[in-house]
Amino acid sequence: MAKSKEIKTNAMRMLDRAKVDYKVHTYECDEFIDAQHIADQLGQDHRTMYKTLVTRGKTGAYYVFVIPIDAELDRKKAAQSVGEKAVDMIHVKEINAVTGYIRGGCTPIGMKKQYVTRIDQSARDLAIVYVSGGRVGAQIELRPEDLLSVSKAEYADLLE
C-alpha cells in the first residue's frame, strides 16, 4: 500500500528551503472556531500558541502582527512599532486576497507578499512557539528565533 504523502503548504516549503527544524501538528476541523479551541484540541499550552493578525495602516500599507492567542493587540503600540499613526484590522473577507491564506490558516510565513511583520516580545522567552501551518487543520511548532528569521520579523511590545 502506498504511503500517503503530507500536503505541504507554502509556509512548510519555505521552512524546508530555509532548512528550519519544525514539526507539523494536524487536527480535524470542520469549521474554524478560534485558536483557543484548537490549542485545547491539540493539548497545547495557550502561552506558546500564537495567532497572526493582518492590519492596514493609515498609509494603506499592510502589516502583520503575531501575538499569543489569549492576548489582545494594542493597536496603538502596533502602529508605533511600524511607524504608522494607526492600524486597523482588515476584514476577514480580505485575508485571502492580501495574504494567500484563509481565516484559521493564516501564518506569517510565506504570504503572497513580504509585509512588515512584528512578533510580540513574549515569544523571545519561549523555547518553542506554535503558529498556523498555512491551512486549517495544521499548526507548525518551531523555535521563536526561526519564526523571526523566516518571516523577516522583529520583536515588539504589542499587547494591551
Domains of the chain: 23-156 (3.90.960.10)
The answer on pLDDT for 112 being more than 70 is yes
- The sign one gets for the Cα dihedral 46, 47, 52, 58 is positive
The pLDDT-based confidence of 2 (bands split at 50, 70, 90) is very low
Condensed to tens digits (0 to 9), the pLDDT of residues 143-157 reads: 999 999 999 999 999
Q: Give the Cα separation of 66 and 104 in Å (integer).
A: 13
Percent of the chain with pLDDT over 90: 76
Please report where in the chains the cell 514539526 appears, as a residue: 23
Q: For residue 6, what pLDDT is reported?
A: 66
User: 74: buried, middle or exposed (CB in 10 Å: 19+, 13-18, 0-12)?
Assistant: middle
Condensed to tens digits (0 to 9), the pLDDT of residues 71-95 reads: 999 999 999 999 999 999 999 999 9
The answer on pLDDT for 115 being more than 70 is yes
Q: Which of 60, 158, 59 is nearest to 108 (CA)?
A: 158
**5-9, 28-32, 34-38, 116-120: segment of lowest average pLDDT:** 28-32
**Contacts with 106 (C-beta within 8 Å, 6 or more apart), sequence order:** 52, 54, 95, 99, 132
